[in-house]
Amino acid sequence: MAPENTSATPTTESKTEPKQRVSVSDERKAHPSSANARRMSNASKPKVSNQRQTTHDGRTAQTETEYCQKGKSAPKKRSERNESNRTSMASTNIPKANLIPKCEYQSAEDVQAAVDEMREFFQTGTTMPLHYRRSILVKLRSYLKKHEEEALQALTDDLGKSSFEGYATELGIVYDEIRFCLSKMYGWAKPKRVPTPLAHFPSSSKIYASPYGVAAVLSPWNYPLQLALVPMVDALTAGNCVVLKPSRTSPSTSAFLQKLCQEVFDDCLVRCLPGSGKMNDWILDVHFDKIFFTGSPAIGKQIMHAAADNLTDVTLELGGKSPCIIASDANLKRAAQRVAWGKCINSGQTCVAPDYFLVHESVADAFADELATYLLQYYGKRILQCDYYPHIINEHHFDRVCSLIDNHGPKTRIAFGGGRDRSSLRIEPTILTGVTLDDPVMKEEIFGPVIPIITWNELDEVFSYVRNFGHPLACYIFSESKVMQEQIIQAIPFGGATINDVVIHLANNHMGFGGFGDSGMGSYHGKQGFDCFTHYKSTLKKSTKIEIPVRVPPFTKTKSIILKLMMR
C-alpha cells in the first residue's frame, strides 16, 4: 500500500460521488485506522475539503490547511515530497559541510521554544492516525536505502567499521526495527478490550494507547546510527514527535543524522540538535514529555535528576561490567569462536560486550589458547594492519584502555596481544590471565578489546564475583548443562542473557532489551519499544440504561450480602 498523507487537501469539486454499498459487518470488522476502514469511510460519505480527521483514540487531527493558517509548517503533500526527493537526490554530491546548517540555538530558552512548537504541533493530532505514522517510517526507510553508502562511510570515519560490520550491527538492525513496527503497529495501537468486574455491571473496559508528546532521544557515540534511529523509530511508531541529540564524539555519523532529519522530516515532527558542550547542558533544562537516554551511569543520574523537576518519564539504557561464565563442560571451541567475534565487534566498544570472563580453572588455559587461535584466524597475524578491524573512537579512550592493560597487577600476565598503534587508534585484542579484583581492568567498564580471565572452582565463587558489580546489562553462559544454565539465570540479576553465544539477544525484536538498577531502567525494541513511548489510558464505560442500587445508601443487610458475593 502506498503511503498516504493525513492532511486533507482543498478541492474545487462541489458535487458528491454516488455512495457505494458497504455492509455493516465489514465496517465493524475494519480497524478505525486501517486501509479498509478508510476506503469504506470514503465510499460512504461525500468529499469535504476541510473535514477534520478522527484518530483511533477519539482525538481530532487538525488538517494541514488549518495548521498552516497559524503560520506553522505541516507535513508535505505528495507532490511536494516528490519534489523534495528529487532535490535530495540532486544534492547528494554537495559537501557535508554545506548540508549542515549553522547552529540556530543560542540558549536553553531557544531549545525550549523549539520543543514548545513541536508540542503545539503534536496537540493538533496530526501524528495520531496510523497511516500517517506508517508513511513516516516508509519515508525514513527509503531515505536510508538511497543513502546507505553515505551512512556506512560515516561509521567507517568515526569508528573504523567495515561496511559489513556497519550494516550487520547498525543499519541492518534499524531496517529490521522499521520492518517489524510496520507489520505490527496496527495491532499494538488498537484499543484493547479487557474484562470488567461484576461489581461494575453494566459496563465495559478498554485500554487506549496514547503517545507521550515530544520525546527526547539522547544517543551515544559507540553505535551512533543504531542507538539513535531504533528508539526514534519506536517513538514515531507510537505517535510521538522526536528531538534527537546525537553524540558530538562521533561527528561524521552525527552530521549524517542531522542531514537525514532535515531532508526526511518536518521540523515540527523531528528535530536534530547539534552536539556541543553547551547543548548538553541546555538539554537538562528543557521540559520534554519523555526522555530516552543511552550512555554512562554517571550521565544517566544527571538526566534523571533533571527530569525529576518536571516529573518527566525516563528510560535509561546504561551499561556495566557484563560477565561471561565458562563452565568446565563448555564447548571450548564454540566459546572461543563466539567470544572472539563478540568481544571484537566495534573493538569492544559495546555496552553488552562480555566485559570479564569467569572461566572454570580446569579449562582456563585451554580456553585462552583457543581464543588466541581464533583471534589470529579472524584478523591475521598483523591485527593492527587489518582493514576491517575497528579502532577506538578517540585518543582519550585509546589512552584509557591502554592504561588498563599496562597497569595490571603483579600476578597478571598478558597471554596474547597488548600491541597498539596510536596513529590508527587500534589496540590488539588482549588476553589477560591471573586477573584479580584489584586489577585496574576490574575497576570500571572496559569498553575496549581487553579480555580479563578470572578462574573459579565452585559456582558460589561466580555469584560472589558478579555481585561485586551490581546489576550487569548482560550475562553470558557457556555450558552444556541445562541445570547449570538455569541455576545461573535464576541466581544472577541482569538485564538480558545469551546462552552459548554473546551479544545476540538484543537483536530479537520479539523480546525487549534493557537493564535495571545500575544498568538502567526500562526496555525497548519491538513491542517493548512501542510501550516505552506510550501511555496506556484505562477507560471504563458505564451504561445508562439501568442502575443497580447496591453501592448507594442506605446500606442494608441484603446489600452487604450482594457486595460480598461480587467482591470476594
* Single-letter amino acid code for the residue at 471: H
Q: How far apart are CA 506 and CA 525, in angstroms?
A: 8
Q: How many CB atoms are closer than 10 A to CB 71?
A: 6
Say how far apart CA 178 and CA 230 lie, in whole Å.
Answer: 8
Distance separating alpha carbons of residues 181 and 529, to the nearest angstrom: 9
Residues 6+ away with beta carbon under 8 Å from 187: none
317 is an active site residue: yes
Q: What is the CA radius of gyration of the chain?
A: 28
Phi, psi of 29 (to 5 degrees): -75, -30
Q: What angle do CA 10, 14, 15 make, to 5 degrees?
A: 125
Distance CA(489)–CA(476), nearest Å, equals 10
Contacts of residue 568, defined as CB under 8 A and 6 or more positions apart, other chains included, come to none
Q: Do residues 454 and 436 lie in contact, with contact meaning Cβ atoms separated by under 8 Å?
A: yes
Return d(Cα 217, Cα 232) in angstroms, integer.
7
- Number of neighbouring beta carbons within 10 Å of residue 471: 18
How many other CB atoms are found less than 10 A from the CB of residue 552? 9
56 closest CA partner among 222, 242, 208? 208
Distance CA 544, CA 382 (A): 80
Catalytic residue among 64, 170, 177, 317: 317
Identify the CA nearest to 214 among candidates 184, 186, 252, 244. Answer: 244
Q: Which residue is catalytic, options 181, 241, 272, 351?
A: 351
Q: Is the peptide bond before 429 cis (omega within 30 degrees of 0)?
A: no
Strand partners, 203: 542
Catalytic residue list: 317, 351
